[in-house]
Chains A and B, each alone.
Chain A
Amino acid sequence: MSEAQVLLDPTSERKEEKRPRAPRLPDLEGRTVGLLDISKPRGDVFLDRLAEGLAARGAQVERYKKPTFTKPAPIDLRHEIAVKCDAAVEALAD
């Protein structure tokens, strides 16, 4: 059929937004670093060690946990981390 040359877009028609990374912190002294445990087994083991290291460098560590690793973090949790922390580490473990 002659009309076949015009097709309808099956996608969401969205474009990916490229956002620049947040600038790297010059130091950790007095900074608040959020540690997000995604609730995978033994993620806490990894984050405990990380927390020790960060505290030794003068950072204030805040711990967070996703209710389940199978779903994205709730928006309230993401907002809380964004508001309270200067930096965040999300840990994947198994």
Chain B
Amino acid sequence: MAEPRPALPSGLVVFVKRECPTCELVVPVLAELSARTRLTIYCQDDPGFPEGLGALDETALERSWHHQIEAVPTLIRVEDGVEQERALGWHRGDWEGLTGISGLGKELPDWRPGCGSLSVDPTREPELRLRMEGEGLRARRVEVAALEDEQEAMFERGWTDGLPVVPPTRQRVVNMLQGTTRAPDEIVAVVPPDMAECSVEKVAINAVMAGCKPDYLPVVMAALEAVCTDEFNMHGVQATTMGVSPVIVVNGPIRRALGMNSGVGVLSPGNRANSTIGRALMLIVRNLGGSKPGGVDRSTFGHPGKLGVCFAEDEEGSPWTPLCSEHGIEAGKNAVTLYGGEGQRLIIDQLSRDAESLARSLASALLAVHHPKMGVGLAVMLVIGPEHASRFREAGWSKDQLRGALVQEMMRPGHEVMRGAGGIPEGMPLPEQAKDAQIPKFLPHNLHIVYAGSGAGLFSVAIGGWLTGAEGSQVVSKEIGT
């Protein structure tokens, strides 16, 4: 927390508690130090201990908390309000070195470990954290009357995505903030379309509501940073009638640390990290950015993934480099990659046995994305499952080889895809002289390949995208911080 902590007085400072045998043991030493130096004693459980030495009442544990006292006794040397060194428990050599006084506690054993500080007692820690850090929270406090149902109160205020949310109490929010080293008042991003500044605290509040664990918070922040770039163009992604929405792909060791799903049912609900990270991002877009269906969100249909889509790439199983490495974050780092995607559609091919055949087959299915006569400026994400990918692995195809083959297989003559061709006005706006030219469906850099899914099933998934490039939404990777 960035708030100033209560300073310690200069001289020697010791934190003790009566119930600690080591603290009892060092009472003669404290008496000697008190007589010979400037010693301030803070007692965590009984201001009357040690008797006659003028101990200060530390039962509120405020100093213990803010100075991260882990054990008692802890002896600290302070100069001009700044800690110089500390000794934990009783260790004659340490105490003599710290105080500069030799011959301390001659009748005592050389060493005795201390006891746990009350400020780190697990039974008191949540309440203490709330008391010490909850006051620093800046978000408006909304009182829900005793007879009011808090879920109903949140629905009525428009805070939810239509499903119940976890009530963002101060306790839960301070606990959530444990997931990051960033200060609660730090601004993470300016969220379109309202261009509202979103602090770490506001991210934490929405992450609580989405059901996140504190460990997920850095992933949510990285995803938020990514969608709030001019390149991703969240305003456009939200506003378009086409109905795309952020798809978060997570790379790096954090996938395993958070227990994310990259395998069976990778795009299904059920895995807490996958489900709640995506949902937290969308709650922030809604609650901070102000984008709601019928408001700035003008999606004609939308899709269920607007609740939030987040999944992990199966890097361990993949024959290829991770997605983030194609967007500026090297393999092995923790990263999110954000893509504006529609709902998913399954591609079935259970008979292709070689790479060439399967590439042709996948390409033929991808032609249907958006509209068979549309392409070039649009994007697609192809999530390839292990069984399909094994065809390419066996053939030794790199990701770029596969991408190149798919692009080639999707080339069509202009006269098939131009406006009016086939008796269909819809199509690409091509000049007449382009009728014999080979027109790509997707440009290579707009064809995003991710490896995920179950080891059983000869399927892949296509997630259609939106306009690409500077005029649309570009794929953005961000490294996940702390």
Q: Give the distance to chain B from A4, nearest Cβ to Cβ, in Å.
A: 5
Determine the main DSSP class of B at the interface with A. Answer: mixed
Give the residues in chain A near B193, CB-CB below 8 Å: 72
Judged by a CB distance under 8 angstroms, whether B28 is at the interface is no
Q: Interface-forming stretch among A28-36, A51-59, A63-71, A81-89?
A: A63-71
- Bound complex: CA A14 to CA B170 (Å): 21
Residues A14 and B194 in contact, CB atoms below 8 Å apart? yes
Q: Which residue of A lies closest to B148 (CB)?
A: A5
Which B126-150 residues sit within 8 Å CB-CB of chain A?
A: 130, 137, 139-146, 150
A68-B470, A70-B236 given as contacts; is B168 within 8 A of A10 (CB)?
yes
| Nearest CB of A to B98, in Å | 41
Contact B236 A71, beta carbon cutoff 8 Å: yes
How long is the Cα–Cα vector from A4 to B166 in the complex, in angstroms?
A: 10
Interface residue stretch chosen among B11-19, B282-290, B443-451: B282-290
Interface size on B, residues (CB 8 A): 47
A67 — which chain B residues lie within 8 A by C-beta?
471
Q: Is the CB of A70 within 8 A of B167?
A: no
Q: Is the CB of B144 within 8 A of A6?
A: yes
Interchain Cβ contacts within 8 Å, total number: 94
- In the complex, the answer to whether B143 meets A6 with C-beta atoms within 8 Å is yes
Q: Which residues of A contact B141 (CB under 8 A)?
A: 6-9
Proximity bits, A2-28, B CB within 8 Å = 1, else 0: 011111111111100000000000000
A1 within 8 A of B: yes
Closest chain B residue, CB of each to CB of A67: B471
- B233 A1 Cβ-Cβ under 8 A: no
Nearest Cβ on chain A to B383's Cβ, whole angstroms: 25
Residues of A in contact, count (CB < 8 Å)? 19
Residue of A nearest to B193 (CB): A72
Name B284's closest neighbour in chain A (CB-CB).
A10
A27 to B154, CA, bound (A): 49
**Are the C-beta atoms of B139 and A13 separated by less than 8 Å?**
yes
A6 and B170: CB pair below 8 A? yes
CB distance from A89 to the nearest CB of B (A): 20
Partner of A10, one of B283, B471, B472: B283
Does B150 lie within 8 Å of A5, measured CB to CB?
Answer: yes
- Name the A residues within 8 Å of B142 (CB-CB): 6-9
Contact check, B144 vs A5: say whether CB atoms are below 8 A apart: yes
Closest to A41 in B: B429
- Bound Cα distance from A72 to B230, whole angstroms: 11
CA of A7 to CA of B143 in the docked complex: distance in angstroms?
6
Which of B145, B167, B230 has most chain A Cβ within 10 Å? B167
- The answer to whether the Cβ of B411 comes within 8 Å of any Cβ in the partner chain is no
Residues of B within 8 A of A41 (CB): 429
Contacts known (A12-B290, A13-B140, A72-B235); A7 close to B154, Cβ less than 8 A: yes
> Are B233 and A12 in touch, CB under 8 angstroms?
no
Chain A contacts for B150, CB-based, 8 A: 4-5, 7
B364 interface residue, CB < 8 Å from A?
A: no
Residues from chain A with a CB closer than 8 A to the CB of B290 are 12, 14
Closest to B197 in A: A12
Please determine whether A14 and B196 come into contact, CB atoms closer than 8 angstroms: yes
Asked if A1 contacts B169 (CB within 8 A), the reply is yes
Which residues of chain A come closer than 8 Å to B471, judged between CB atoms? Answer: 67-68, 70
Given contact pairs A9-B142, A68-B470, A4 touches B287 in the complex (Cβ within 8 A):
no
Can you spell out 21 A-B residue pairs with CB atoms less than 8 angstroms apart?
A: A1-B171, A3-B170, A5-B144, A7-B142, A7-B150, A8-B139, A8-B142, A8-B168, A9-B142, A10-B139, A12-B196, A12-B197, A68-B470, A68-B471, A70-B240, A70-B471, A70-B473, A71-B230, A71-B235, A72-B193, A72-B235
6 cross-chain pairs, A with B, having the tightest CB-CB distances, nearest first: A12-B196, A70-B236, A9-B140, A68-B471, A8-B139, A10-B287
